[in-house]
Amino acid sequence: MTRIEDRTPKGSIEKSGAFRLLGHMRMADLLRKSHSAIIGNGNELEDLIYEHSSHSNKLKIYDGVPKKNAFVVKYKWDGGDCDAVLLEPNKITLFEIKDGDNFDTKKAAGEYAKLKKAAKFFETVDPHNRRCDFRIILWNCEDLKKSSFKHKAAQPHLMRGRDFAPLVSIDYEKLNARRNEVDPEQNRQYMLKEMKAIVSENITDEWQLRDFVSKWCFLNNHSQELVNETIL
């Protein structure tokens, strides 16, 4: 699990969308760090997938001719890339790996179109003339019917992380245990500390305080419990 406190987003805070949204340096910095940590969790997941896979021929950041048998994490080619590719004797499967499962229609459609185009590319360049399919992995999703991936054509291509893991020789539970070595409580306590500091510096009226914290938590998908803890 990525630590929010350790994130150092690139670029000037004053020129960021978070600062334009909030008009406050410390608030904007905390919002940017939170967003960066969420993205960092996804990047960390790719690294752990490579580390935990016991596939007999695993490769990382590969850009060569498709092999007969391999599992590649981050396959790159001119004009595109894919989070992972499983190359088997009779077929190729492309994977886009998502830590969450909440995607709006435009983003979901974009992911589907990207993978569909990539599958056609692989079928064109593959020296072994294999068919190519693709899957969108929702790593933490337990019920695909409840996922919020809003693109009808992509639905048959969705796959749970739990079902993807054995395809590339990964122990799903063991990998998740590794991710949780950094306790989310550390992030929670850091957020509370920073929010309390912001509140004490800027807000004195209780109702103004509740309004601010509620809006901030809504932007970051935090709960009413966190609102109460910050105020108390």
Query: How would you write the pLDDT of the chain (232 residues) with one tens digit per residue?
Result: 778 888 888 889 888 888 888 888 888 898 899 888 888 877 889 999 999 999 999 999 998 889 999 999 999 998 789 999 999 999 999 999 998 777 766 788 888 999 999 999 999 999 999 999 999 999 999 999 888 877 788 889 999 999 999 999 999 999 999 888 777 888 888 888 988 888 777 765 555 656 666 665 665 555 555 545 554 5
What's residue 219's pLDDT? 55
Tell me how far apart the terminal alpha carbons of the chain are, to the nearest angstrom. 27
Contact 148, 111 (CB under 8 A): no
Task: Name residues whose C-beta falls within 8 Å of residue 172's C-beta, 6 or more positions apart in sequence.
Answer: 161, 162, 165, 166
Asked whether the beta carbons of 46 and 97 are under 8 A apart, the reply is: yes
Q: What is d(CA 111, CA 107) in angstroms, rounded to the nearest whole number?
A: 6
Instruction: Provide the H-helix boundaries in the chain.
Output: 17-22, 25-52, 105-125, 161-164, 172-179, 184-202, 206-219, 224-231
Question: DSSP string spanning 84-151?
Answer: EEEE-SSEEEEEEEES--EE-HHHHHHHHHHHHHHHHHHHHH-TT--EEEEEEEETT-S-GGG-EE--
For residues 106 and 93, give the distance between their C-alpha atoms in angstroms, rounded to a whole number. Answer: 24
CB 82 within 8 A of CB 95: yes
Model confidence, pTM? 0.75
Q: How far apart are CA 60 and CA 74, in angstroms?
A: 6
Separation CA 44–CA 10 (nearest Å): 18
